[in-house]
């Protein structure tokens, strides 16, 4: 029985390998469409949080939060962040309370005496409010597209922070040669061309349209490039607020392993020193 089964298993394994090889050759033989030919890899934003020794720049995070609040929050929510989390950006307790109190959307509450739903001002314990009450409202306000929540955006996209930065600064007219080579790839009405977006065309209009769209409290010139970098840094923090702790833990673990390896090697040499000939 084993003599019969073994060749069958081998044939099955070989068949799977042939199918995989054929699929790879077929994929490589297919001509690339416009999205492959004109899609660009994200540019380096040069953020302080990048790399294994990266740290957050609180001034930049505060500027990024300002860009989000004054520009991006018109469509996008960050519902996984609470107002009190903003203290990590360097805001004082009073500033956090003021930010929560001034937010345009009020948090719902239930009257304990009557059971009626009312509204109240946000407190530091509340999460940043959702922009739209539900998906129907979101679609109605955005040409049937639902703006994604930005809480984990830099984790959900490859090369996240650089992707956000490149996307925000990448809007441009569609190249004439693209339309000439791929007539069906022309940007449809209502969409916008951006080579950093996977399909080249997206429903979101350019959010950062001019310099000085916001006025930074620290006096930093608010160019489109600077605003894009700042909000990319802020979204890196929303997705991974413990990034610095993780980097510190990783460095400590590396140093421990390095020292332990040295001690183990020294013990090995000491134990076997007199036993080798």
Contact 75, 142 (CB under 8 A): yes
Structure confidence at residue 68 as a pLDDT band (50, 70, 90) = very high
Predicted confidence at residue 140, as pLDDT, reads 87
Exposure class string for 120-134: b at 16+ Cβ within 10 A, else e: eebebebbbbebbee
- Distance set, CA 236 to CA 57, 86, 233, 249 (Å): 11, 14, 5, 19
Average pLDDT in the chain: 84
Query: Domain 34-81+148-249 is of which CATH architecture?
Result: Orthogonal Bundle (1.10)
| Cα–Cα distance, 227 to 231 (Å, whole number) | 6
What are 38's two structure tokens? Answer: 């004109």
Average pLDDT on 57-75 reads: 96
pLDDT beyond 70 at 67? yes
pLDDT tens, residue by residue, 83-135: 999 999 999 999 999 999 988 777 777 777 777 777 788 899 999 988 988 88
Kindly state the DSSP code that residue 121 receives in the 8-state scheme.
-
pLDDT tens, residue by residue, 125-177: 999 988 988 889 898 888 888 899 999 999 998 899 999 999 999 999 999 88
Angle in degrees, CA 66, 91, 57, rounded to 5 = 70
Q: What is the pTM of this model?
A: 0.78
pLDDT tens, residue by residue, 171-222: 999 998 888 888 888 888 889 999 999 999 999 999 999 999 999 999 999 9
Predicted confidence at residue 263, as pLDDT, reads 86
Predicted confidence at residue 51, as pLDDT, reads 85
Angle in degrees, CA 265, 269, 273, rounded to 5 = 170
Segments making up each domain of the chain, as ranges: 34-81+148-249
């Amino acid at each position: 029985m084993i003599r019969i089964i073994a060749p069958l298993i081998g044939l099955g394994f070989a068949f799977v390998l042939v199918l995989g090889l054929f699929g790879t050759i077929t994929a490589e033989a297919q001509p690339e469409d416009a999205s492959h030919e004109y899609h660009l890899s994200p540019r380096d934003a040069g953020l302080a949080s990048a790399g294994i020794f990266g740290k957050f720049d609180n001034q930049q995070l505060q500027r990024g939060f300002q860009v989000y609040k004054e520009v991006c929050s018109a469509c996008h929510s960050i519902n996984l962040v609470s107002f009190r989390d903003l203290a990590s950006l360097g805001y004082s307790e009073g500033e956090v309370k003021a930010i929560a109190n001034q937010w345009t959307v009020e948090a719902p509450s239930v009257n304990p005496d009557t059971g009626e739903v009312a509204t109240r001002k946000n407190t530091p314990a509340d999460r940043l409010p959702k922009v739209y009450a539900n998906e129907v409202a979101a679609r109605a306000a955005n040409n049937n597209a639902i703006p994604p929540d930005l809480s984990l955006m830099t984790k959900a996209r490859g090369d996240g922070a650089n992707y956000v930065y490149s996307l925000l600064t990448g809007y441009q007219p569609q190249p004439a040669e693209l339309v000439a080579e791929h007539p069906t790839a022309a940007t449809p009405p209502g969409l916008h061309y951006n080579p950093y977006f996977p399909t080249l065309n997206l429903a979101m209009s350019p959010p950062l349209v001019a310099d000085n769209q916001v006025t930074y409290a620290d006096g930093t010139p608010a160019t489109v490039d600077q605003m894009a970098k700042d909000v990319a840094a802020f979204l890196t923090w929303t997705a991974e607020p413990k990034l610095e702790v993780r980097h510190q833990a990783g460095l400590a673990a590396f140093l421990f392993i390095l020292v332990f390896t040295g001690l183990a090697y020294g013990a090995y040499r000491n134990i076997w020193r007199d036993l080798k000939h």
